[in-house]
Amino acid sequence: MLGAPVQKRAQKKLRSFVAKSHVAEPSTAKNIEGKTDLYSRLLTTPELGDAISLSERSIQYLQKRRAIPYIKIGRSVRFRLRDVEKALERFTVREVTLS
């Protein structure tokens, strides 16, 4: 973890960048109920793990195998929940009927 002064400077820089670029902060996207909308923002590995009930290691494994789409920004890896859920649909086991 970063120390408190370093973290505050980083947050201040981020707010300044967002203000200059006229881009909404990802954490401010709200759905109809007023809750943060996970579909409209980029998620970290732990956040994605919480959202789809998988461990961080499992997500990293799927990422390494390119089974789920991800976005790389420098060394940071981010995921769009809607894209990941769409990619995971191919793992769905369909009902088998015997004739």
Give a three-class secondary structure readout of 11-51: HHHHHHHHHHHCCCCHHHCECCCCCECHHHCCECHHHHHHH
pLDDT of residue 95: 83
**6 SS3 class:** helix
For residue 68, what is the DSSP state? S
The domains of the chain are located at 31-91
pLDDT of residue 9: 65
pLDDT by residue (tens digit) across 21-67? 444 444 455 555 555 566 778 999 999 999 999 999 999 999 999 99
Q: At what angle do helices 45-52 and 56-64 cross, to 10 degrees?
A: 110
